[in-house]
């Protein structure tokens, strides 16, 4: 049953990609790129907060 689900997911994903216009695809790529950067930014912000918290003590 798992392989049937995976086949359905792949087929659905391909249909969705074909249904999107050029600008929609570009926007999705942009959002995916932003989402990939978020964990890096979170790590940086946590380190910055820890640094400034330690300086004020």
pLDDT value, residue 17: 62
DSSP string across 8-49? HHHHHHHHHHHHS-HHHHHHHHHHHHHHHHHHHHHHHHHHHH
pLDDT value, residue 15: 65
Give the separation between CA 57 and CA 46, rounded to whole angstroms: 17
Domain count, the chain: 1
Residues 2-54 pLDDT 10s? 788 878 888 777 666 678 888 999 999 999 999 999 999 999 999 999 999 99
pLDDT value, residue 33: 96
Q: Answer yes or no: pTM beyond 0.75.
A: no
Structural domain that includes position 50: 2-55
pLDDT value, residue 16: 64
């Amino acid at each position: 049953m798992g392989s049937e689900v995976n086949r359905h997911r792949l087929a659905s994903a391909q249909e969705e990609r074909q249904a999107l216009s050029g600008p929609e695809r570009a926007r999705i790529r942009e959002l995916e790129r932003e989402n990939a950067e978020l964990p890096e930014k979170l790590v940086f912000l946590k380190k910055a907060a820890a640094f400034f918290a330690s300086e004020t003590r």
